Structure 1
Amino acid sequence: MNKKQIFTRSVITAAIALASSQSMAAGFQLNAQSATGLGRAFAGDGVIADNASTMAKNAASMTLFDAPALSLGVIAIDTDIKVKDATYNGFQLPDDQIGGTSYVPNIYYIQPINDKFAVGASLYSNFGTKTEFSDNYAANAFGGLTDVKSMNLGLSAAYRINQQLSIGGGLDVIYGSGKLNRYLPANDKLNTPKVDLLDVDADGVALGFNLGTIYELDQNNRFGLSYRYSPTLEAKGDMHYMRNDLSDQKLKMPLPDMAEFSGFNKLNDKFAVHYSIQWIRWSEFDVLETTGGVKFNDYQWQDGWHYSIGGTYYLNDQWTLRAGYMHDTSAQDSKTSISVPDSDRNWLSSGFSYHLDSKSTIDFGLTYLIGKDVKANEKNAAGVVNATTRANAWLYGLQYSRSF
């Protein structure tokens, strides 16, 4: 075996170990359920109940509506993800931008049955990501293309036990699809062609559920607690790994459960404060493997937390202004990767609602998500990769809400 073959084979071995971790990106949580929530950093979203999108955070909040309510909108996510100062076995790699723009639609409808019982339906997303390295990036075995989308179809019901306490819950039908491509780009100096390492185009459906409760101290002060069970999604389609056809197997993706506490306090006719604490069980996403036992990668992820606080100012009958701040913690702990940019993040959010009339509202939300520089230092049989990653993003939300 000549030196070129030894080099190529060792790089393939190392690249597969690293590239597979990028498919973990399907597990990234999306906070993109509504434009109103986006404008307040989703602080208190499960109990404010200013439009039908509240059911995405807490089904029990549907009892706060005395008339049918509809909300529909879209969130645009423009990510700025950089991989910089990278070296592989001492060779300097150029900086690369691997972010992109994604659009996440949402629609919600709540139908009160009587003064105690309400039902609702929703369509939105909790998980998804998109990153893409340049075609000629030398380390495309580490990155390549990841384009993962999910949609959550929810059917929910809520019941008011008494003046203070309401309960709710529902079923979640989760559809996920993904395209993953990892490869060694062609190298003219070594006279080697492009080598595909991982090529996946698959989708699947899984069933989850959610539960929630709300306690109303009075009409201006309420608190909520919710829990969402996220299943293991099994995706099937075209799947090739190291030139082996695995299309007869399924890719198993354990999605994290979530729990959230929310509060809302209206201090006077003009101003309210609201807040949330959310726990995300990232530690259950321990391994990415197929139903046939082909293991792509192990992880050492930790549970995540979101802490958010916001304020709403009721300017007049036409305008409502809002702002918020969120700090959310990284799912990664001591094990970091060039292919999965992640860090603690800070959200700076603002938004407004314009009331077209007493029953119709246009909502807008804007968030700047600020990440941190993260050092990645990975070792394997072929050598060492060192790099710095950073992920920032702009999120824009537009929504129309109406009561009937």
Structure 2
Amino acid sequence: MRINNVAFVVLTLLTVSQVNAAGFQVNEHSASGLGRAFAGEAAIGDDATSLARNPALMATFDRAQLSVVGTYVAPDVNITGYDDVAPGVYSTTAAKNSAHNVAPAAVVPAMYYIQPINNQWAFGLAMYSNFGTGTEYADDYINNTAAGTTNIATATFNPNLSYRINEQFSIGVGVSAIYSSAELKRSMPDPNSPNAPHINVTDMDGDGINFSWNVGALYEVNDNHRFGISYKHSSKMELEGTFSGKHATTGASVTDNIDGTMDNTLPAILELSGYHKLTNQFAISYSWQYTTWSDFDDIVAHDSEGREVLRKNENFNNSNRYSVGTEYYATESLTLRAGYAYDEQAADSTLSIPDSARQWYTAGMTYKATKSLSFNLAAAFVAGKEVTFTDEVPPESGKDKTFTSEGDAWLYSAQLNYSF
């Protein structure tokens, strides 16, 4: 795959399994947030990772801080195929339509820095991702004309400014340069030699940089009660790359790579959050997140003459995410967390993106080693709902096959925070 060597991509580029959030949204921005299922993220501001959710939270910092995060995603996504003669009835003849462990494990990195300028202004820089997905089927999988390899990755470079209006109100704004890349590979069995390697049908890859903006606001009732709102604007993902395989418009077989483009819109994200410290040791937080997935549309690529060379129909719908979290301040050095979240399904399931509704069960902790140095650890179990769906598998003249997908994931996250 041809990818531009952009320096910050080394730190933030990822390919994330679709099992961990609705559609292919990435929420793994911090270990502190993961511990409470990312509840209250637009209102809490307990470390520099808050930049990923609400730039207005920078106004609460009186010292510069650096946060570095790494999250390991270990998914288990399996596809069960059904007998063509009796749809919905599994038999031994349907085993060839099944696939196991189709979502590879991935590491999700992120880095954040906040620098107060004076009592009113602060500057921050965030490097993370909001979107990514990856499915990889075995080379000899019989349905690889609809499955194969699908990778979409983004990396965001996001400078921000915040301004404290008064003791209660703060606002923040940021701009983003978003590096995006996509890869789609499809193949089919050789009808003349069933045991021979599959024939290439589609091989499309590309990358590009697009731009967006984000805003946020924070209202502090007092030190123990805060409310936050943030908004990330949608952005046009314009990718340029190469294509080979069967041309969808002309029907010709393209053996040499030709120039191709693929355009999609990454959705907007709105988040409302609250945080309430009810006692000296116990606090609750909550969030509602709304993502405009309907902006994404189908996956379509064109050649240099504007003719369609590839199409993968998707049906995305706007989705909600609800989360609630708790924090227990055991000592001055130790904070314990737990959380629960529910992700609505954002897209009709397909072999390439077998989306489903998900429930998150999370736990985490923060240990303050010194006044300046702290560590966060968190783990989460994400349970995906079993979904039965149909997918068109060429070259069978538009004939649909029936599948069931089931997927869970374990997430493990570590984070270091250092204040200057």
Specify if TM > 0.5: yes
Equivalents in 2 of 1:27, 1:200: separation in Å? 21
Q: Does 1:318 align with 2:322?
A: no
Among 360, 372, 377, the residue aligned to 1:359: 372
Partner residue in 2 for 1:96: 99
Equivalents in 2 of 1:188, 1:179: separation in Å? 28
Q: Report Cα offsets for 1:84-121 as digits up to 9, x if no partner.
A: 13345665134312021111111000000011110100
Map 1:202-221; keep pairs closer than 5 Å.
202-221=206-225
Cα RMSD, aligned residues only:
2.1
Q: Amino acid of the residue matched to residue 329 of structure 1?
A: E
Equivalents in 1 of 2:159, 2:180: separation in Å? 18
Partner residue in 1 for 2:292: 281
Partner residue in 2 for 1:299: 314
Partner residue in 2 for 1:50: 46
Q: Does 1:146 align with 2:159?
A: no
Equivalents in 2 of 1:247, 1:203: separation in Å? 15
Moved more, 232-241 or 83-92: 83-92
Among 33, 36, 39, the residue aligned to 1:40: 36
Report if the CA contact (8 A) 2:238-2:263 is conserved. yes
Report if the CA contact (8 A) 1:135-1:185 is conserved. no
Equivalents in 2 of 1:247, 1:168: separation in Å? 44
Equivalents in 2 of 1:88, 1:142: separation in Å? 16
Among 181, 201, 204, the residue aligned to 2:205: 201
Q: Does 1:132 align with 2:126?
A: no
Give the match's secondary structure for 1:92: helix
Equivalents in 2 of 1:187, 1:193: separation in Å? 11
Q: Report Cα offsets for 1:168-203 as digits up to 9, x if no partner.
A: 010011111233211113467647752212212321
Equivalents in 2 of 1:89, 1:211: separation in Å? 54
Among 49, 56, 59, the residue aligned to 2:55: 59
Report if the CA contact (8 A) 1:232-1:255 is conserved. yes
Equivalents in 2 of 1:280, 1:230: separation in Å? 10
Give the match's secondary structure for 2:43: helix
Map 1:71-90; keep pairs closer than 5 Å.
71-88=67-84
Return the TM-score normalized by structure 1. Answer: 0.89
Report if the CA contact (8 A) 1:186-1:192 is conserved. yes
Give the match's secondary structure for 2:351: coil
Q: Amino acid of the residue matched to residue 179 of structure 2?
A: Y
Q: Does 1:252 align with 2:266?
A: no
Q: Amino acid of the residue matched to residue 132 of structure 1?
A: E
Q: Does 1:115 align with 2:126?
A: no
Give the match's secondary structure for 1:93: helix
Moved more, 151-160 or 287-296: 287-296
Q: Amino acid of the residue matched to residue 304 of structure 1?
A: S
Moved more, 375-384 or 317-326: 375-384
Equivalents in 2 of 1:131, 1:191: separation in Å? 24
Equivalents in 2 of 1:156, 1:60: separation in Å? 9
Report if the CA contact (8 A) 2:150-2:352 is conserved. no
Structure in which a larger fraction of residues adopt helix: 1
Equivalents in 1 of 2:258, 2:56: separation in Å? 41
Among 177, 180, 186, the residue aligned to 2:181: 177
Shift of 1:382: 4.5
Equivalents in 1 of 2:156, 2:181: separation in Å? 12
Give the match's secondary structure for 1:54: helix
Give the match's secondary structure for 1:96: coil
Q: Which runs of 5+ in 2 are unaligned?
A: 1-17, 87-92, 247-252
Report if the CA contact (8 A) 1:68-1:110 is conserved. yes
Report if the CA contact (8 A) 1:102-1:130 is conserved. no
Shift of 1:284: 1.1
Return the TM-score normalized by structure 2. Answer: 0.85
Q: Which runs of 5+ in 1 are unaligned?
A: 1-21
**Closer/same/farther in 2, CA of residues 247 and 188 from structure 1, 3 Å limit:** closer
**Closer/same/farther in 2, CA of residues 26 and 330 from structure 1, 3 Å limit:** closer
Partner residue in 2 for 1:391: 407
Equivalents in 2 of 1:303, 1:241: separation in Å? 33
Report if the CA contact (8 A) 1:93-1:138 is conserved. no
Moved more, 53-62 or 232-241: 232-241
